[in-house]
Amino acid sequence: MLNTVAFLVTNNPLAKSKADKNLRIEFLDTDLLGVLIYVRGLIHKGHHLLTHPLSGSIKPNESPYKSILISEEHLKTDPRSVEIIEEAIQTTRKFPQKDIPEIYLNDLQTIDFSFISEHIKEHQPQIYNTEQKPASLLAECTSGGCGAKIGPGELSSLLGKLPQLHNEHLMVGFDASDDAAVYIQGDGRAVISTVDFFSPMVDDPYIFGQIAAANALSDIYAMGGTPVLALNLVCFPEKLSKLILADILTGGADKITEAGAVLGGGHSIYDKETKYGLAVTGFADKDSIIRNNTPEAGHSLILTKPLGVGIILAAERASAAAPAAVQKAVDSMRRLNRYAAEKMRGYKISACTDVTGFGLFCHLLEMCGDTVSAEIQRSELPYFPEAAAYAEDYMLTAAGQRNRNHFAGNGMVDKLPFALQELVFDPQTSGGLLICVDPDQAPGLLEDIQRDDPAARMIGKIIPKQDKTIIIKE
């Protein structure tokens, strides 16, 4: 009685040359996709196994076996490759005892790794080429992240033409340009509803899923609520590997879990470009709802994340960004605004919004409206130094220029150096919270936030209405 796993060196059916060979791991009675998802989950927890060229296949109908192919390259770079896949198979199912043809030589519990090595030496497998390697997420995307948003001027003119139906329970609707809709139930509890999705801004599907989910959840935090339920929204090219989609969904699910919410399902369609996001529902007490357009004169402004992720990603797409800069941007984008939002509780907050595709100054313009102005301290604006350097080299975004055009005439941005001008208009994907807080309480709130988000800064204050909406101070 032999068990259900075998290790064979065989021709790669997907390779262009019949001479190309790989190590094939075959097994029974296990969900193939489950095994692959588990393995790729280990990658993102610190393992470097098969970050892209991991492939699985199901044999023809007459055979019950499924298989995973590994290239010689990966066996050299990570000798634990087979061990990790073994762990994935063990975790994914309980193994039945079956009569297996003698070619399936090894019991799973007593794998002889030298046997595998000898077969590799004997057959001299080549690094395979490449239908198994997923295509670049960015290769076919014309824009990505919150930089793909329709410009604020275009959007407001479109929404202004929609019929507005009165409902006494709808506290916040699309007429307010707020971060989410708010519906008041009969018991006075507020239901917060938002939706956000976009195309990729990074090539790693798991990280893209994390960022998209963090961005969608952020609207609930900006309104003073707690997310409780999320639904996936997926557009995906039929020609791409479903393993890519599995990674995207895993990244999103991990962030939903971190937020303390639950994933309840979703909807998916085939499309020419990959897009992913969430519809999110949250709750808050009616009196705890925070609007984005109710700032009080004299209140201080706190920004919780540095600016510049859009410019860094533009530089990355031009192969001009330093890896350290890209990592900083990624870490910022996938960080939940939950932690800063939780610190707001107990403080007198008059307004809050999350800074995303419209950039800092256009979101601040929405906050001020026609009633107040904002005074911004140039020296206190937080940003990534690398982003400023890339802006100086004219690595800019189309969305940033749309934001600049929409803002025209509302502030003397020419007082800022060119790079800083670009940073205040730069579309932020999963950007920080812009919080308007009582000036006496602002230092305490900033100190609380900086314990977990050290880049947070007090960037200015709300002032009575001036000729210009945004005033820049040295």
DSSP 271: -
Residue 350 contacts residue 451 (beta carbons within 8 Å): no
Q: What three-state secondary structure class fits 57? A: strand
Distance of alpha carbon 341 from alpha carbon 453, whole angstroms: 11
Residue 141: active-site member: no
To the nearest 10°, report the CA torsion of 32, 33, 39, 42.
Answer: -150
Tokens, residue 386: 């690398």
Question: Under the phi-then-psi rule, with left for phi > 0, alpha for psi from -120 to 50, and beta for the rest, what region is 97?
Answer: beta
β-sheet bridge partners, residue 68: 25, 56
Distance of alpha carbon 284 from alpha carbon 223, whole angstroms: 9
Distance of alpha carbon 431 from alpha carbon 179, whole angstroms: 13
Strand order in the sheet with 226-236: 170-172, 181-184, 189-198, 275-285, 226-236, 262-270
Identified catalytic residue from 146, 352, 368, 436:
146
Tokens, residue 330: 């990624």
Nearest partner of 90 among 74, 105, 109, judged by Cα: 109
Write out the catalytic residue numbers.
Answer: 146
